[in-house]
Amino acid sequence: MVRVKALDELTPADLWQAVPHDDEDFWVDTGERMRAVLKHLMQGALEEEQVELLAASRYRRVEVRRGYRNGYYERDLVTQLGVVQGIRVPRARGLHADHRVFARYQRRQREVNDLIRDVFLRGVSTREVGRVLEAMLGERVSAATVSRVARSLTAEVQQFHAAPLEDDWRYLLLDGVYLRVKGAAKVRRRLILCAYGISTSGQRRLLDFRLADSESAACWEGFLNTLRERGLLGRRLQLVTTDGCPGLHAALQVVYPHVPRQHCWAHKLRNVSNLLKRSQQAACIAGARAIYQARTRRAAVAAYWRWARRWRPEAPKAVACLERDLDDLLAHFACPEAHRVKVRTTNAIERCFREVRRRTRPMSCFTNDQSCERITYAVISHLNHGWEDKPLREFTHKA
């Protein structure tokens, strides 16, 4: 007959014999045990809260009692360990307790909601999120639940638009980006005005974005005034890079009139290319690139005249298009040479919104303006968080 060992006689080898050795059984058993422990801890915490609420423990007669127990009800909670079933929640007659373990009517841990939201924001459709997370959470999340969880971003969007800004931004990039949004009758293109800043220490950040009806002077002025009211007074601004929009330039003349402006080379070269024959485009644009790649402003002006003499006879409209904004195109030469590549275009904003477009590809377009704002904010917030500890190398002392 096998002698049963006392608890203090058990060795690790004895304990290991009680563990299932099949991979699947091991993890299933481990998960069940962890959920059982979690359930025990939660029920213990709920009982402690009940004692505090009533000012009396079970079966105790006291004069300062605030109320009386009224049995239990059971509820399930989806946690990071799976579904914890049948949690006994104590009730009190005529009293309501705000539980620290979970909120009233809450069916999922906040961390689970964050996980659902993050999976959705990484590009998984609302219908597929439930299937993807089912194995981890122990139950399938419905598309309606995913949509409700995503709507929780609304408050964060409002906080982002109103958060104070420090006035240490050295460069400001401004551009308008179009996204597809469902309307009442058809899908329409909606404009998002966007501001991207680079600080004196090389920190980069998408400062704000706003849905707008157009790139008119009024829309841009309202957007820039919001930045100014939040703290971006422009005392340290050395350059503002734009796409050349007349409405934006008019707004800048009102809000930041003394800050030099840089015309985006990427936008300008696209405009020049549209005025060329297909057979001319490669050679002509390659010659134009030599202008902004020059080491000094003097060398850039010389490169322009060589390019203009070569192409004016064949493409006078293309040469006139670039010449019209030549001074604004060369404004970045007043900046340190290491900074110029970052401020001569608004490509940084385009790269950020490439991620927004990638996210909306599974659903083809945004369902409404609020959905557009929420997902745009989520992508921007993720990018900003990733940039916090990664200043631009060109702006550090080592560079």
pLDDT score recorded for residue 112 = 64
Q: What is the mean pLDDT of residues 373-390?
A: 85
Averaged confidence pLDDT in the chain: 80
Q: CA 140, CA 116: separation in Å to the nearest integer?
A: 11
- Kindly give the pairing relationship between strand 169-182 and strand 187-199: antiparallel
pLDDT score recorded for residue 14 = 64
Element (H, E) at 155: helix 153-162
CB within 8 Å of 114: residues ≥ 6 apart:
none
- Give the model's confidence band at 263: pLDDT under 50 very low, under 70 low, under 90 confident, else very high: very high
Q: Where are the domains of the chain?
A: 1-106, 108-151, 169-393
- Residue 32 pLDDT greater than 70, yes or no: no
pLDDT score recorded for residue 288 = 95
Locate 108 and state its tokens.
Answer: 């999922």
- Give the model's confidence band at 241: pLDDT under 50 very low, under 70 low, under 90 confident, else very high: very high
Locate 361 and state its tokens.
Answer: 């590809």
- Residue 33 pLDDT greater than 50, yes or no: yes
**Exposure on the CB side of residue 245, measured as CA atoms within 13 A:** 23
- Residue 82 pLDDT greater than 80, yes or no: no
Locate 265 and state its tokens.
Answer: 């080379």
* Longest alpha-carbon distance in the chain: 107
- Give the model's confidence band at 157: pLDDT under 50 very low, under 70 low, under 90 confident, else very high: confident
* pLDDT tens string 87-145: 777 777 766 666 666 666 556 656 666 666 676 666 566 676 667 666 666 666 677 76
pLDDT score recorded for residue 194 = 93
What does the radius of gyration of the chain's CA atoms come to, in whole angstroms? 31
CA distances from 108 to 87, 104, 149, 225 (A): 13, 11, 11, 41
Per cent of the chain over pLDDT 90 is: 41
CB neighbourhood size of 174 (10 A): 26
Higher pLDDT, 344 or 111: 344
Q: CA 221, CA 253: separation in Å to the nearest integer?
A: 9
- Give the model's confidence band at 3: pLDDT under 50 very low, under 70 low, under 90 confident, else very high: low
CB neighbourhood size of 2 (10 A): 4
Task: Spell out a b/e string for 228-255, using b for 16 or more CB atoms within 10 Å of the CB, else e.
Answer: eebebebeebbbbbbbbbebbbebbeeb
Strand partners, 343: none
Strand partners, 177: 192
CB neighbourhood size of 285 (10 A): 15
% helix, strand, coil for the chain, step of 5: 55, 15, 30
Locate 303 and state its tokens.
Answer: 């490169």
Higher pLDDT, 249 or 73: 249
* pLDDT tens string 158-173: 999 999 999 999 999 9
pTM: 0.71
pLDDT score recorded for residue 175 = 92
DSSP 336-377: -GGGHHHHS-SHHHHHHHHHHHHHHGGGSSBSSHHHHHHHHH
DSSP 74-90: EEEEEETTEEEEEEEEE
CA distances from 212 to 72, 148, 189, 216, 381 (A): 53, 25, 11, 9, 20
Least confidently predicted of 163-172, 182-191, 228-237, 241-250: 182-191
Least confidently predicted of 113-117, 349-353, 375-379: 113-117
- Residue 275 pLDDT greater than 80, yes or no: yes
